[in-house]
């Protein structure tokens, strides 16, 4: 089957390679990447370290599977109506108003076979691993096998690839595969495949056209395909403007009232702005534009070095890399927020394709540099990138290696693998008591495991608007207080949430709105309008007494 797939791929793309040996040089590295990442990602999910975004995408896929396309009560909780207007989340809320992501429908048949949030974790790794194989084919258009393997190996060892791959599922994980496929189709002059990939890229999300615009600029400036490049630039730029100003507002006001302001609100005044307003604000304030582009200077340089490192800094001197990757970089440099310049955040993947293609083009004219001395230097760079990928995973963005790296050294915060899995075994019986069709509110790390349902929200919220447009209180509330207790000694967010949940549980039980029906290892399960179980209530009170002493 694998051999037939290789042969068909070779025929479609007119590859000048031996049909039986297309992927043989890179396949061992790709398999190691796939197996290691799959084990780490599944451990992260099943040991309850996948978080809110994993639940959002799983609920979106689950609703898509049931014909309620791109609806999500979890996404609704992030909407401007909830965040700014104080409304309750709605189950029929269309996520397309936040991020326009029709490309997710491509993977719905796979999800239909295995409708579970773990499927998305595996799908993400498949997408990235396959992207590396396509990158190898792309490199072979210019370079000999050893150098092509080095470039594809750099992709698998890049912090900007590993970090997003080992995090929650996200739509940007499709970008490397689609862009590398588009560039390979361009090199083979397979224009039908080229334009199909261009459509797929635009369908990933509303801002994916920025990267496609960079490809068009390269096609024009290199004078290789100026007419096609101009068409690509026109298509991508026009698509972004029409989508964000005319189509997405049909679903909600989130683009103009929340997401553009959170990232680019420094260029405009007021509490609402379209993408056209943002562009005009940048034009009117060139000094602010320059300031945002370079400040903070140290973080900007650190971010660029992180991207260049696995490729031995070659993209820094590649004009093609700057032409293609420059526009996604520009979008990130001009934005604000904690994650835009985080090398292990999902946004970093938008920069990756241009840098690697630019490196391929640079190497095509400098193959003599690929000597043993440089190879050793390159290997050292990849090793450093792997090391930084490992250490950066300790951040709250990922925590894939939570069992190996402490989250904090002073004060000491570390949860061992055996400790966490023991906690999981205590927690699962409580989750099993929640009926599949019941409405539920849960803490962050429990949400992915409960998100195969219509009505779900994150604690401390307890209300949502159902399909009958009625505001209801959820049937069940479940909280992992033990995990918050472990992290609260070093992190203010966990400490404040733990205090709020203590107060919430006390009020709900005293008012008899919810009864404590079970409690185990710091996990509390409450059910609406039922009396508390005496044994569970005693266990809760004992836990709270001990936890409050540590809080004080």
Edge-to-edge strands, sheet with 89-90: 89-90, 463-465, 471-473
The confidence score (pLDDT) of residue 1 equals 44
Say how many residues make up the chain.
Answer: 552
Q: Alpha-carbon torsion 5, 9, 12, 18, what sign?
A: negative
CB 168 within 8 A of CB 53: yes
The confidence score (pLDDT) of residue 87 equals 92
What does pLDDT average to over the chain?
A: 90
* Residues in the chain, pLDDT under 50: 1-3, 5-6, 12, 17, 19
The string of pLDDT tens digits covering residues 368-381 is 999 999 999 999 99
Residue 264 neighbours by CB under 8 Å, 6+ apart: 273, 278, 281, 282, 334, 335, 336
Q: Are strands 471-473 and 463-465 parallel, antiparallel or unpaired?
A: antiparallel
CA 474 – CA 488 distance, rounded (Å): 27
The string of pLDDT tens digits covering residues 60-102 is 999 999 999 999 999 999 998 898 888 999 999 999 989 999 9
The confidence score (pLDDT) of residue 2 equals 41
The confidence score (pLDDT) of residue 428 equals 96
- State if pTM tops 0.75: yes
89: which strand partners?
464
Tokens of 287: 């000094």
The confidence score (pLDDT) of residue 145 equals 93
- Domain-by-domain residue ranges, the chain? 2-49+94-392, 412-435+475-551
The confidence score (pLDDT) of residue 15 equals 53
The confidence score (pLDDT) of residue 3 equals 47
Tokens of 291: 């300031």
The confidence score (pLDDT) of residue 289 equals 77
DSSP one-letter string for 374-401: HHHHHHHHHHHHHHHHHHHTTSTTT-TT
Q: Coil, helix or strand for 428? A: helix
The confidence score (pLDDT) of residue 14 equals 55
Burial class for 436, CB neighbours closer than 10 Å (0-12, 13-18, 19+): exposed
């Amino acid at each position: 089957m694998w051999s037939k797939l290789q042969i068909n791929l070779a025929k479609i793309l007119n590859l000048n390679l031996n049909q039986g040996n297309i992927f043989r040089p890179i396949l061992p590295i790709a398999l190691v990447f796939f197996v290691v990442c799959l084990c780490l990602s599944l451990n992260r999910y099943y040991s309850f370290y996948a978080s809110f975004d994993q639940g959002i995408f799983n609920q979106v896929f689950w609703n898509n599977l049931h014909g309620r396309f791109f609806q999500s009560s979890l996404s609704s909780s992030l909407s401007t109506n909830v965040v700014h207007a104080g409304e309750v989340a709605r189950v029929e809320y269309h996520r397309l108003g936040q991020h326009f992501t029709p490309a997710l429908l491509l993977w719905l048949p796979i999800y239909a076979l295995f409708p579970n949030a773990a499927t998305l974790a595996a799908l993400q790794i498949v997408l990235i691993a396959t992207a590396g194989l396509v990158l190898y084919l792309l490199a072979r258009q210019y370079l000999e096998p050893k150098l092509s393997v080095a470039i594809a190996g750099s992709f698998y060892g890049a912090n900007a690839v590993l970090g997003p791959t080992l995090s929650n599922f996200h739509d940007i994980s499709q970008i490397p595969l689609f862009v590398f496929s588009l560039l390979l189709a361009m090199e083979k002059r397979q224009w039908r495949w080229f334009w199909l990939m261009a459509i797929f890229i635009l369908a990933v999300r509303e801002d994916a056209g920025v990267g496609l615009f960079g490809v068009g600029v390269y096609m024009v400036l290199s004078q290789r395909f100026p007419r096609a490049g101009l068409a690509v630039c026109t298509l991508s730029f026009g698509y972004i403007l029409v989508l964000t100003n005319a189509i997405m507002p049909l679903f909600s006001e989130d683009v103009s009232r929340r997401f553009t302001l959170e990232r680019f609100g420094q260029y405009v005044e007021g509490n609402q702005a379209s993408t056209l307003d943002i562009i005009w604000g940048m034009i009117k304030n060139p000094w602010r534009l320059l300031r945002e582009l370079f400040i903070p200077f140290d973080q900007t340089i650190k971010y660029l070095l992180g991207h260049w490192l696995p490729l031995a800094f070659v993209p820094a001197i590649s004009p093609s890399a700057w032409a293609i990757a420059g526009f996604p970089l520009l979008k990130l440099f001009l934005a604000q927020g904690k994650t835009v310049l985080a090398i292990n955040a999902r946004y970093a993947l938008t920069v990756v394709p241009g840098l690697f293609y630019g490196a391929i083009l640079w190497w095509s004219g400098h193959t003599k540099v690929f000597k043993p001395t440089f190879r050793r230097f390159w290997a050292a760079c990849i090793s450093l990138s792997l090391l930084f990928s490992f250490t950066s995973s300790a951040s709250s963005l990922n925590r894939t290696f939570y069992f190996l790296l402490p989250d904090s050294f002073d004060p000491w915060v570390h949860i061992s693998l055996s400790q966490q899995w023991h906690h999981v075994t205590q927690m699962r019986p409580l989750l099993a008591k929640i009926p599949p069709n019941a409405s539920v509110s849960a803490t962050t790390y429990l949400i992915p495991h409960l998100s195969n349902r219509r009505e779900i929200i994150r604690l401390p919220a307890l209300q949502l608007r159902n399909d009958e447009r009625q505001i209801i209180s959820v049937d069940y509330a479940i909280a992992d207080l033990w995990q918050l207790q472990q992290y609260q000694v070093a992190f203010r967010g966990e400490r404040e949430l733990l205090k709020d949940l203590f107060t919430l549980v006390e009020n709900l039980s005293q008012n008899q709105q919810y009864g404590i029906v079970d409690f185990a290892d710091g996990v509390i399960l409450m059910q609406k309008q039922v009396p508390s179980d005496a044994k569970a209530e005693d266990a809760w009170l004992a836990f709270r007494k001990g936890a409050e002493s540590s809080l004080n």
